[in-house]
Structure 1
Amino acid sequence: MKSSPLARKAAAFGASATVLAGMVAALVASPAQAATPVATAAPAAGTAGLSAAATATKSAPKVSVSTPRASKADYEGSCPVNVTFSSKIKVAVKGKTTLAYRWLHGDGSKGKIETVKLKGHGAKYVKVSEKLSFKENVKGWEAVQVLGPRKAVSKKGYFSVSCQSPIVIEEEQGPEVSARVWASPSSYVGACTPGDKIDFTGRIKVSDPTWVKYRWVLNGKVVDYGRTKVYSSKTVGFGISPRESQRGYAQLEILGPDRTSSNRAYYKVWCKDEAPATRVSVSSLVTATNNDGCKVGAHATLSSIGRARVEYTWLVNGKAVDSDYAYFSGAGSRTVTLSDRVLAGDATKGGKITLTASGAGSTDSITQSYAACETPKPTVSVSAVSQTGQRNDMCADKRGPGVDFKATLTSTGATTVKYYWLVNGEKDGGELTREVNGSLDVTWGIGGTHNASETKGNIQLVVVSPTSVTSGNAAFSAVCPKPVAG
């Protein structure tokens, strides 16, 4: 479509200067004439062809036009936006004929004349379309005018465009988290026999109550994980039992809700009057509590100074839960693992894991504590908002109908849910609270719009806690019923 003069006229009702007009000519033969060849769209034939089509005799084929439909009849959102209008023209063909038509716009302008050549017998359908781009608010209509082989004009197809800026919900800044660690004692001199020699203590501080994920790092290697609820500050820790003189450091790394690390707590161990090295030994026992299902697992290093068959046993709180053996063809070490075990009763509150080993005439063992299980905090999800009904009693007061809505809150466990409703981007009413354990329907209703017969807009439900989630915007529309004729 040429931009002049239509572009200048389209601007009068809010369309962009560029009018994207096109025609999709889909000629579909009637069932009785399915084998008839279909003609493709042809350019305008000029004023002479138009005059001939417009002055057809009474024997000209019958023509009917459907009301144009907009791809976005009542659009609300960001602009510019493209809206496509489409209509169907039905022509009763007897032999050959030329269809000539053009689009009529609500601002009074007219589109370019288009023609399509048809042939065959029976009803032929031509689908026509036009695309317009709008960059500001507009209300208007589109119609199709047939100029030949017989004059006809469709009904007006109405549309509206409401340009809105997207709603941006800013995320709240999470709580601040810090950590500090120290070793007790920081220096040890004495016999290096089984048992804790160095204990590391860490204190986690938060600006607001929150769940904190953390891990312990010993000399650059991760040795333990944990997750705990911290209201102001909380102490966590672990210990090591060196078998030989060494020095190093421990550090507490915070993994969430923010990532940070504590200072390094340095330590030194000097083993004096050590007994002769045993042929079999166990070391580096690390435990891990899995809160998903309340399970505990562990791994450790099994060593031998020569060829040996070494049998080892895992104990949880003094009770043997697994055993196996390993062959050593010579001096060496290997990692042995205790797979996750489900805890029950008092064992869920924390305890100790022990690994014992025997072989080549020697035995050894090591024990390490494991953390208590913590119940995960329930999470909440929300369904899309649905329109459940309308109240027409307000229509008598020259107001649009009231509209009722429903959404479903779903929790993974018993919890208190705080939420509120947003109507057309504004908070409607105050913050609400419901006790939810599973799924719970919540409802909301709004009054009708003053001096209008229609109530429309968008609505969403926003959950504040225990998790932050939203249903997403849902558009709605309700119209007062027409008065019954007296």
Structure 2
Amino acid sequence: MAAGLLASPAAAASSSTQAGKASSSHSTPRPVVSVSKTKASPAKSDECPTKVTFSSNIKVKTYASKTTVAYRWLRGNGTKSKVKTFTLKGKGVKNATVKESSTFKGGDTKGWQAVEVLAPRKKTSAKGYFTVSCGGDEGDGGKQVVNTGHVGAQIWVDENNCSATLIGRITSSSHRWVRYQWVVNGHVVDRDAVRVDGSRRVYHTIRPRDDYRGWAQLQILSPVKSSSGRSYFRIECRDSSPKVSASVDAPANYEGDCPVARTFTGTISASYGSGHVKYRWIRDGSAGSWQDVYFSGHGYQSRTVSDSWSASASGTSKRAIEILGGPTSGTVEGKVTCKVAPPAAKAWVENGTAATQTAATCPKASVSGTGSIYATGPIKIKYTWSLDGTVVKTGALDFTSAGSQSVSFTSDSDGLKGGSVKLAIDGAGSDVVNYAAVCKA
């Protein structure tokens, strides 16, 4: 089904895989669902056979132009009906009454039914209880009554999902102990003795592991031998509806530059059958819009769908897939860690550059300069020394970490004159100092 496949078995298929993209939509509020207590009619009956009809009202407040409702019946004996769907058209509060009937052929039967709404929200009604109690031998539909002397036996079968209850009535014209046995397909499966005063019911339940059919008989062993006629049964254990499931795989954890796109991959599988399956992505707890995939053919099939996550900052994102009228997959989580690039290292000339002119044989002299360059981190820089506007030395420094490095120069000069010395970094500033004459004019 969801909307087709689960509701009815189908034919034809291949094991091909299809990719589909999920679209995100969170603008429409989810519908509000309520369901009334299930009513059994009649709730009590002493006639057999009796047809009991169960009914319940499903109320949906919807915000969409079309809303699909999926539901199934739950029964007191542990069985469930196939999933059924109907469509509500228009926005606002909508009501729909759903019904199911069961016929009870005889015996004392008590139980209940309730309706479970699966979509658009899960909700289960209160249980509606019933009792069928057939009075007198005539109430059993005239099935196979045998009287031998003053003891008689009667049998009928109540078939359920993968089980059958054999119901027998032993009659006696006086108060006495009666020994009896159950025979199924010619084999004795149970023996016991009961005290009978007029009439008493006895029971035996057959619970096979697979489909099973045959006949059953109630035999009286004492005080006189007699038996019921054979009652035939057929037990079916296989659930004929296709099984639909979903699973989700998360992308590998990511660490690097952002923004980045990551993709969650989902697999929707069907045991067999053809039809459309409706599903939606649950993104970080919020449900997206319904989408569908199509299955066609026999045997196991699967379809692949995907959903993208665009991350512009470090964080996590979770995904799951919900099948309409079916299960919801486990939730998986993807993680993104965005790397922040460190700021680019910078360098500059520190204050404190010095220049000194020293006399040689006047008017000849020499000028020497020292300086310090600081860097904030790993960087390569080029520097120049200039004497009175003329470059007298160039060099390069390689910083592997933050810190300072010293540089210097010496150049011939005219001791009769003073001037200026400049230490500069390419594109990163400079420092200028003056020096004085050392020779007399």
Shorter-chain TM-score category? 0.3 to 0.5
TM-score with structure 2 length normalisation? 0.44
Determine which structure has greater relative contact order: mean sequence separation of CA pairs < 8 Å that are 6+ residues apart, divided by chain length.
2
Q: Greater share of helix residues, 1 or 2?
A: 1
